[in-house]
C-alpha cells in the first residue's frame, strides 16, 4: 500500500512539474517568431496530449485497488517514459 501511495505522489509531482514546464514553453512561444510558432504549437499539442494521458493513468491508479495496481504500474510506467521523452525533445528543440 505504501508503495502505491509513494508512486501516486511521484506521478503527481512529475505532472505538476510538466504542467509548469508546458506553461513556460507557452510563454516562450508568444515571444517567438511566426515561423517558429507553428513548431511550438505542434510540440505543445503533443505535450498536452501526453500530459492528459498521464493524468488519466494517475486517475486509474488512484481508483485501483492495492492488488490491481501492480498490473496497472507497467502501463503507467510506459506512458510516463513517453511523456519524459516528449518533454526532453521539446526542451532540446525550444528550451
Residue 95 has pLDDT above 70, yes or no: no
Statement: the pTM of the whole predicted model exceeds 0.85? no
- Please state whether 19 falls in left (phi above 0), alpha (psi between -120 and 50) or beta: alpha
Q: How many CB atoms lie within 10 A of CB 43?
A: 20
pLDDT at 9: 92
Ordered by start, the domain boundaries in the chain are 2-94
Kindly report, residue by residue over 3-61, the tens digit of the pLDDT: 888 988 998 998 899 899 888 888 877 776 666 778 878 888 988 998 898 888 888 87
CA distance 11 to 61: 10
pLDDT at 16: 92
Amino acid at each position: 500500500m505504501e508503495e502505491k501511495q509513494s508512486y501516486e505522489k511521484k506521478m503527481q509531482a512529475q505532472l505538476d512539474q510538466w504542467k509548469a514546464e508546458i506553461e513556460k514553453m507557452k510563454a516562450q512561444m508568444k515571444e517567438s517568431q511566426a515561423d517558429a510558432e507553428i513548431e511550438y504549437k505542434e510540440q505543445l499539442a503533443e505535450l498536452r496530449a501526453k500530459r492528459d494521458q498521464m493524468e488519466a493513468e494517475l486517475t486509474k491508479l488512484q481508483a485501483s485497488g492495492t492488488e490491481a495496481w501492480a498490473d496497472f504500474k507497467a502501463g503507467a510506467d510506459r506512458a510516463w517514459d513517453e511523456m519524459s521523452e516528449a518533454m526532453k525533445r521539446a526542451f532540446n528543440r525550444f528550451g
